Amino acid sequence: MDVSGCICPSSFPSPSNNLICNGNSINCPITCNQSPPSPIVPRAQLSQCYSGCVNANSECNGCYIWFSSLCRCLRAFQAGSQTDCIASPVIGPGPPQPHQSPSWVVLASGDLITTTQLIPGILQLSTADDIDGGFRLGQDTINSQQARDSLALAMNSVSTRSEEQIHIHLCDSTKTGIRGILDGLDHSKYRTSQPVDLSSLHKPNSAMNCRVSPNSGADINMGRDAVDWLKQYQGSSNCNQYDVGAGVITDSSDYSWACVVTGHRAAESLFCPT
């Protein structure tokens, strides 16, 4: 994606948590088979529904990551300029090369990761060239900051996300109750993804299945776990798929846990409550 001739917009509707567009804003309800019927209404409004961050949504806050933050990273990479953005694979100076692989990118803010592929969210993660690349880059970033005990990764569900371009939150996990719950689990029972009891949390409102890394200090693949979990909903209009999120966190013994989150609470608020 060559953005050398682009102006990456910095002016979006204010405040940024007002998830509307400059111009035409539409609620984009998703009809699914729950009882009683009640459509899922994503938080972000768009000018064109159900397409992610296409050009029609270039002035919508729900596409700020794609049209503004990622655009500025790519301009810096392609110009060979100094930037706080981090890409994997690395994006070198100059225009994109033919058949260049997509990259996952830590944005300049340091707290969000997205990809150069146009992917709305977790339901489309299976279309990424490198399904585990975003969570791998996130763990590499956490390791480089020596912050495995204080940072986590979280990808929110369709029903709770605020951006319509796939992204992973790299966030402060020091206040979460999840780590204490994981500390009490028998690792031998979590070599594959298994249910975790969240009833001790102040606000449960969620369910979670987790898998633990084989060794302390080791990273863990998360993307494939999320994709495999979502396969049960392929071809269906089951509402539960819109509540699926994902996260990676370490326990107090520095084992990594890959967790699929379901329910009405955002993965970000579970792993990184404020």
Domains of the chain by residue range: 118-271
pLDDT at 173 over 70: yes
Which one has a higher pLDDT value, 204 or 47?
47
Each residue of 215-244: pLDDT tens digit? 999 999 999 999 999 999 998 889 999 999
Q: In this structure, what DSSP letter does residue 113 have?
A: E
Mean pLDDT (the chain) is 94
Please state, as a whole number, how many other Cβ atoms lie within 10 Å of the Cβ of residue 40: 17
Which value, in Å, is the radius of gyration of the alpha carbons in the chain? 19
Please state, as a whole number, how many other Cβ atoms lie within 10 Å of the Cβ of residue 44: 20
Q: How confident is the model at residue 4 (pLDDT cuts 50, 70, 90)?
A: confident
> Tokens standing for 134?
């975003």
- Could you tell me if 177 and 239 are in contact, meaning their C-beta atoms sit under 8 angstroms apart? no
pTM above 0.85, yes or no: yes
Each residue of 114-166: pLDDT tens digit? 999 999 999 999 999 999 999 999 999 999 999 999 999 999 999 999 999 99
Which one has a higher pLDDT value, 14 or 107?
107
Q: Nearest-CA neighbor of 55 among 23, 77, 83?
A: 23
Residue 224 CB burial class (10 angstroms; 0-12, 13-18, ≥19)? middle
Overall residue count recorded for the chain in this entry? 274
pLDDT at 7 over 90: no
pLDDT at 37 over 70: no
pLDDT at 241: 95
Q: Which residues of 84-106 are buried (b: 16+ CB within 10 A; e: fewer)?
A: ebbbbeebeeeebeeeeebbbbb
pLDDT at 190: 98
**Where does 56-201 show beta strands of DSSP type E?**
86-88, 104-106, 112-115, 151-155, 168-172, 194-196
pLDDT at 38: 72
- Angle, in degrees to the nearest 10, between helices 133-144 and 223-230: 150
**Alpha helix segments (H runs only) across the chain:** 64, 71-79, 133-144, 178-183, 223-230, 267-271
